[in-house]
Amino acid sequence: MPTFAANLTMMFNEWSFLDRFDAAADAGFAAVEYLFPYEASPEAIAERLTRNKLQQALFNLPPGDWAAGERGIAALPGRFDELKSDVERALNYAAATGVKRLHLMAGLADPSDAEAASCYRRSVAYTAARLAENGIDLLIEPINGRNMPGYFLNHFGAAERLITDLGLPNLKLQFDVYHRQILHGDVTMALRRLLPITGHIQVASVPSRSEPDGEELNYPYLFGEIDRLDYRGFVGCEYIPRDRTLDGLDWFKPFARR
């Protein structure tokens, strides 16, 4: 069955950030992911990973000024030098944590704007090439406009075309099942078709974005399908618990490491 990574930005919020590593390991997770590591030191995160025998599945490159509402800068004109600096910052954390995949957020921009599209393509190509020097995959993720209005990369077809056009072996799709269902539906057929370019999968229920144990999607079937497709990567649990994290892990207990 898939190797599940607890998303420590959304899960285990009953603990401080570094203590969430311990809590996730105690709950039986073998891997973790989160949006951003940059408020903790690389050394502190590496120590928690080692202590708990956890794998680092994924994190995002710096997103610009998150507190001010930025959601990435890759598609924003005039930010390329900042992006290059951000890539180096992320690589410091990658070296400490051993992560093999990083996600680049596009930012808030009109997908039909030619300048934004050119900036995004340049940013993706540069970042993928720089990460390839360190044996790391670059992921791009379509995000639905209900959760992130105005996000530049808001269509799976656009992500697929860019990955195909650039033809970079370490450029992969981040297939978030929650976003896919809201944007397009047809999750199973999309998984079957896009798995060759998929580098990471994420899950949550739809529409509440909580535990993957009900609502619109049949997750037992989808988990079985992921196995049938022989997917060898991580499945990130990017969901918001309905109550305390530990109270909502019945869905996960059959998959917990022993």
Q: Does residue 27 contact residue 256 with C-beta atoms inside 8 Å?
A: yes
Quick one: pLDDT at residue 31? Answer: 98
CA distances to 25, 141, 187 from 222, in Å: 24, 19, 9
Instruction: Say whether the peptide bond before residue 111 is cis (omega within 30 degrees of 0).
Output: no
Domains and CATH numbers, the chain: 3-246 (3.20.20.150)
3-state secondary structure the chain: CCEEEEECCCCCCCCCHHHHHHHHHHCCCCEEECCCCCCCCHHHHHHHHHHHCCEEEEEECCCCCHHHCCCECCCCCCCHHHHHHHHHHHHHHHHHHCCCEEECCECECCCCCHHHHHHHHHHHHHHHHHHHCCCCEEEECCCCCCCCCCECCCCHHHHHHHHHHHCCCCEEEEEEHHHHHHHCCCHHHHHHHHHHHEEEEEECCCCCCCCCCCCCCCHHHHHHHHHHCCCCCEEEECCCCCCCHHHHCCCCHHHCCC
Quick one: pLDDT at residue 258? Answer: 61
Quick one: pLDDT at residue 132? Answer: 98
| Residue 43 is a catalytic residue | no
Q: Does residue 249 contact residue 238 with C-beta atoms inside 8 Å?
A: no
Q: How far is CA 10 from the centre of its chain?
A: 12
Greatest Cα pair distance, the chain, in angstroms, is: 51
Q: Does residue 58 contact residue 33 with C-beta atoms inside 8 Å?
A: yes
Helices 80-97/42-52 angle, 10° precision:
30
Q: Residues 133-155: pLDDT tens digits?
A: 999 999 999 999 999 999 999 99
Q: Residues 93-127: pLDDT tens digits?
A: 999 999 999 999 999 999 999 999 999 999 999 99
Question: Which of 14, 70, 88, 141 is labelled catalytic?
Answer: 141
Q: How many CB atoms lie within 10 A of CB 85?
A: 11
Which regions in the chain score pLDDT beneath 50?
none
Of 203, 180, 179, 200, the closest CA to residue 190 belongs to: 180
* Amino acid letter for position 11: M
Quick one: pLDDT at residue 2? Answer: 82
